């Protein structure tokens, strides 16, 4: 009977929604004078008081306080504590009255009050009085359970000392409480020592406490070993043991062991437990690769009670691991299943939208969230600003920004980077000044935004100033990205010598981004010698990247060194490196339409190609001349011109002109940099058709309006 009752209670921590019902069961059981160990009551009520605290109105008639508390001071104490925390002062007071160890009880409560308020000296003073009172082991437990911070070292040791003096250090509950206390205070060695020195009779709670202690303090391997020892000793695991050991497996990438634990979970009948399943999904997502992801989905699909927690862990896990498409898909499934997304899911799905630049989807998520009536959080607002900015809708980003009551460095930085990438460098710098005026300090990413803004607006002096102030004023050491931005800027402004000096001065090892910026600068200035050096470094750093081969070969051709150019192309071929194919896409009614160059796979191919003919005719009349230098070499003039006309971004814009209602902006995305001919064509198209075309290439946004581009033909 005792076992049954305890297991029942153990299960009830899992579903806080059902706590009220379970408490009544417990109290009912209690009034029948059945024995339930105090440990379970403490565990139970500590959780009932946790973040998902239920509101509980236990009427006086539903149980007999006197009966519950008179035989056990600990039960008495937890009830008082529970009622006080529920704001039910009357019931708390009455419970105190019934107790025959009133002095003990009030003492513990007083100490706890000070422990909780973090006032160490008062708490210590009060705890000295403990010695004068005879305490029961359970009272210790209740005190120990409160020590989850490291602030009260002195008091912690005092209590430990007192357990030794009073010989409670041989009581398994007390020692388990001590192990838990030390582990929560990050004193793993102390916890480990106590655990190892513990007298006979470690139960599953003791073992679980140690596994959890290791796991939560980053001792993944020790947690796994401890779990193994526990199995060898024949101690059964519970629903808290498994999540802890799974977290440990994830932290040390022990996939095989994790899969074994999964088997163990199934065998011990915990396969259907919601907490254990969520932990399994979390582990598989953490150790993400395609096979593992499959496992995570399988576990998830077999879950019976999928609640907001399990959906959140799946969607957030996918987004966190870069599986943005899956994240979006599961978010839709979650909505279909009727689960209302909370702030955590919304924030992560919005960042997935930002990465995939699916503006319409992001807008829908925003609308759903507004309708849900949930209060917004800083992370949701920040994700919104970032999503709109990254999708090129800087006005919307600004609107969310204006509506925010609280902003942090992430908010400001999202806007600063957003303006910079959308070709509005000066606005970006203005926001930076406002940010400083508001008292927010910039971080490393803010400076990337600022330098990018300067780079694309040709503001060399400002950039130098920001670059220097980074370290001098804010103590932020410039990283490779900051150097890359500076070198890019200097290269564009004709200051190749200064760019080289900066490169040589670098404290950190230059990475591929730096060398790419430097190679591009060398190309602009036709400096073969330095270009070769940059390309050579890139061959090593990014052996599969075609860009340095193409650029270097072009540089040789431009200098009339045909042999050298041919040699590089041959080298590229022998190393089996091919150029990443250009690809453009457009989002329409939450569907993504993708186009490759000369693509004929789209259902509306015929319409698209005849629209291209019309576009070419109209923009040529307006003065457009195809730039053959961007065409393929081995073709006649007509073939070259047609090849140019069917570049992926031109197919995308033709499709957009057919489908996007007039007046609405056209948004196109491209994986590579936009080619010079397409850039010119887009300008003409925006003028002839009177449309606002937003083209995001691999580097930035181009806003084409009335025959002009926001980048000032500088990209």
Q: Does 711 contact Zn ion by CB under 5 A?
A: yes
- By CB under 5 A, which span of 428-436, 478-486, 631-639, 695-703 interacts with Zn ion? 695-703
State the minimum distance, in angstroms, from the CB of residue 582 to Zn ion: 7
Q: Does 685 contact Zn ion by CB under 5 A?
A: no
Say how far apart CA 605 and CA 617 lie, in whole Å.
19
Q: Does 615 contact Zn ion by CB under 5 A?
A: no
Q: Which is nearer to Zn ion, 272 or 635 (CB)?
A: 635
What one-character-per-residue DSSP string does 568-629 give? Answer: HHHHHHHTT--PPPPEEEEEETTEEEEEETT---STTHHHHHHHHHHHHHHHHHTT----GG
Tokens, residue 479: 């990283």
Say how far apart CA 333 and CA 280 lie, in whole Å.
20
Contacting Zn ion within 419-448 (CB under 5 A): none
State the minimum distance, in angstroms, from the CB of residue 489 to Zn ion: 17
State the minimum distance, in angstroms, from the CB of residue 647 to Zn ion: 3
- By CB under 5 A, which span of 71-79, 268-276, 357-365, 705-713 interacts with Zn ion? 705-713
- What dihedral do alpha carbons 449, 421, 463, 480 form, nearest 10°? 60
Nearest one of 348, 355, 356, 342 to 317, comparing CA atoms: 348
Backbone angles phi, psi at 591, to 5 degrees: -115, 140
Q: How many residues bind Zn ion (CB under 5 A)?
A: 6
Tokens, residue 258: 């994790």
Q: Does 457 contact Zn ion by CB under 5 A?
A: no
Q: Does 80 contact Zn ion by CB under 5 A?
A: no
Q: Does 647 contact Zn ion by CB under 5 A?
A: yes
State the minimum distance, in angstroms, from the CB of residue 373 to Zn ion: 42
Q: Does 365 contact Zn ion by CB under 5 A?
A: no
State the minimum distance, in angstroms, from the CB of residue 584 to Zn ion: 9
Among 678, 685, 693, 694, binds Zn ion (CB under 5 A): 678
Q: Which is nearer to Zn ion, 366 or 702 (CB)?
A: 702
Say how far apart CA 110 and CA 116 lie, in whole Å.
10
- By CB under 5 A, which span of 125-133, 209-217, 619-627, 643-651 interacts with Zn ion? 643-651
Q: Does 700 contact Zn ion by CB under 5 A?
A: no
Contacting Zn ion within 464-523 (CB under 5 A): none
Say how far apart CA 297 and CA 643 lie, in whole Å.
43
**How crowded is residue 25: how many other Cβ atoms within 10 Å of its Cβ?**
14
Q: Which is nearer to Zn ion, 171 or 422 (CB)?
A: 422
- By CB under 5 A, which span of 204-212, 271-279, 487-495, 675-683 interacts with Zn ion? 675-683
State the minimum distance, in angstroms, from the CB of residue 595 to Zn ion: 12
**How crowded is residue 277: how many other Cβ atoms within 10 Å of its Cβ?**
25
Q: Classify residue 576 as exposed, middle or buried by CB count within 10 Å of its CB (0-12, 13-18, 19+).
A: exposed
State the minimum distance, in angstroms, from the CB of residue 677 to Zn ion: 5
Q: Which is nearer to Zn ion, 490 or 678 (CB)?
A: 678
Q: Does 702 contact Zn ion by CB under 5 A?
A: yes
Q: Does 675 contact Zn ion by CB under 5 A?
A: yes
Rg (CA), the chain: 33
Residue 251 DSSP code: H
State the minimum distance, in angstroms, from the CB of residue 492 to Zn ion: 14
Q: Does 283 contact Zn ion by CB under 5 A?
A: no
Which region holds residue 167: left if phi is over 0, alpha if psi is between -120 and 50, else beta? left
Say how far apart CA 426 and CA 116 lie, in whole Å.
50
Q: Which is nearer to Zn ion, 305 or 598 (CB)?
A: 598
The CA–CA distances, whole Å, from 280 to 271, 286, 300, 480 equal 10, 10, 9, 37
The CA–CA distances, whole Å, from 593 to 237, 366, 602, 668, 669 equal 50, 22, 8, 10, 10
State the minimum distance, in angstroms, from the CB of residue 456 to Zn ion: 10
State the minimum distance, in angstroms, from the CB of residue 675 to Zn ion: 3
Residue 88 DSSP code: -
State the minimum distance, in angstroms, from the CB of residue 688 to Zn ion: 17
State the minimum distance, in angstroms, from the CB of residue 618 to Zn ion: 18
State the minimum distance, in angstroms, from the CB of residue 662 to Zn ion: 22
Say how far apart CA 297 and CA 278 lie, in whole Å.
11
Residue 370's H or E segment, with its range, is helix 359-372
Q: Which residues contact 220 (CB under 8 A, 6 or more apart)?
A: 214, 248, 249, 251, 252, 254
Contacting Zn ion within 126-165 (CB under 5 A): none
Partnered with residue 703 across adjacent β-strands are 694
Contacting Zn ion within 195-224 (CB under 5 A): none
- By CB under 5 A, which span of 100-108, 253-261, 285-293, 672-680 interacts with Zn ion? 672-680
Q: Does 631 contact Zn ion by CB under 5 A?
A: no
- By CB under 5 A, which span of 235-243, 433-441, 455-463, 670-678 interacts with Zn ion? 670-678
Binding residues (CB under 5 A) for Zn ion: these are: 647, 675, 678, 702, 709, 711
């Amino acid at each position: 009977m005792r076992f049954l009752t305890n297991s029942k209670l153990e299960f009830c921590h899992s579903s806080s929604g059902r706590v009220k019902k379970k408490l009544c069961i417990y109290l009912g059981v209690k009034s029948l004078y059945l024995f339930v160990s105090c440990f379970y009551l403490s565990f139970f009520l500590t959780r009932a008081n946790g973040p998902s605290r239920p509101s509980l109105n236990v009427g006086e008639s539903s149980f007999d306080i006197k009966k519950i508390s008179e035989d056990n001071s600990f039960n008495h104490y937890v009830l008082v504590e529970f009622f006080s925390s529920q704001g039910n002062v009357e019931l708390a007071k009455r419970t105190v009255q019934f107790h025959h160890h009133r002095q003990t009880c009030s003492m513990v409560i007083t100490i706890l009050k000070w422990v909780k308020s973090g006032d160490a000296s008062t708490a210590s003073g009060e705890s000295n009085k403990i010695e004068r009172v005879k305490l029961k082991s359970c009272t210790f437990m209740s005190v120990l359970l409160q020590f989850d911070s490291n602030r009260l070292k002195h008091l912690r040791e005092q209590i430990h000392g007192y357990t030794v003096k009073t010989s409670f250090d041989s009581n398994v509950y007390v020692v388990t409480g001590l192990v838990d206390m030390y582990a929560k205070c990050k004193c793993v060695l102390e916890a480990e020592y106590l655990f190892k020195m513990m007298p006979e009779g470690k139960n599953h709670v003791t073992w679980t406490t140690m596994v959890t202690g290791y796991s939560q303090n980053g001792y993944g391997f020790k947690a796994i070993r401890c779990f193994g020892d526990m199995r060898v000793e024949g101690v059964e695991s519970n629903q808290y043991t498994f999540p802890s050991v799974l977290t440990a497996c994830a932290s040390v990438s022990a996939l095989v062991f994790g899969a074994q634990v999964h088997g163990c979970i199934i065998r011990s009948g915990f396969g259907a437990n919601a907490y254990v399943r969520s932990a399994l999904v979390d582990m598989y997502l953490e150790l993400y690769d395609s096979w593992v992801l499959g496992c995570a989905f399988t576990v998830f699909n077999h879950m019976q009670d999928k609640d907001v927690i399990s959906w959140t862990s799946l969607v957030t896990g996918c987004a966190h691991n870069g599986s943005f498409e899956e994240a979006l898909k599961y978010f839709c499934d979650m909505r279909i299943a009727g689960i209302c997304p909370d702030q955590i899911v919304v924030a992560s799905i919005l960042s997935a939208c930002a990465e995939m630049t699916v503006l319409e989807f992001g807008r829908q998520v925003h609308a759903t969230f507004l309708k849900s009536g949930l209060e917004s959080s800083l992370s949701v607002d920040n994700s919104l600003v970032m999503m709109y900015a990254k999708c090129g809708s800087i006005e919307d980003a600004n609107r969310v920004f204006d509506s925010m009551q609280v902003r942090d460095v992430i908010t400001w930085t999202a806007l600063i980077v957003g303006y910079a990438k959308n070709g509005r460098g000066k606005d970006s710098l203005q926001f930076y000044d406002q940010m400083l005026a508001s008292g927010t300090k910039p971080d490393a990413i803010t400076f990337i935004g600022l330098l990018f803004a300067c780079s694309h607006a040709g503001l060399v002096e400002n950039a130098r100033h920001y670059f220097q102030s980074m370290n001098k004023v804010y103590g932020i050491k410039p990283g490779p990205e900051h150097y890359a931005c500076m070198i890019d800027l200097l290269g564009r402004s004709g200051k190749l010598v200064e760019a080289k000096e900066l490169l040589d001065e670098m404290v950190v090892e230059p990475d591929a981004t730096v060398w790419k910026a430097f190679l591009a600068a060398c190309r602009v200035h036709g400096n073969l010698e330095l270009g070769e050096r940059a390309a050579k470094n890139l061959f090593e750093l990014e052996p599969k990247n075609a860009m340095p081969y193409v650029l270097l070969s072009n540089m040789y051709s431009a200098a009339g060194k045909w042999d050298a150019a041919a040699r590089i192309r041959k080298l590229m071929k022998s190393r089996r490196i091919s150029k990443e194919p250009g690809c453009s896409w457009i989002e329409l009614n939450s569907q993504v339409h993708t186009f490759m160059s000369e693509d004929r796979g789209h259902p509306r191919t015929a319409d698209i190609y005849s629209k291209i003919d019309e576009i070419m005719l109209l923009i040529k009349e307006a003065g457009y001349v195809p730039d053959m230098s961007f065409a393929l070499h081995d073709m006649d003039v007509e073939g070259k011109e047609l090849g140019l006309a069917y570049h992926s971004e031109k197919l995308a814009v033709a499709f957009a002109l057919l489908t996007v209602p007039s007046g609405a902006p056209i948004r196109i995305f491209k994986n590579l940099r936009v080619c010079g001919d397409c850039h010119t064509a887009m300008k003409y198209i925006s003028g002839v058709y009177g449309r606002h075309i937003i083209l995001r290439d691999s580097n930035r946004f181009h806003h084409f309006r009335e025959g002009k581009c926001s980048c000032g033909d500088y990209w």
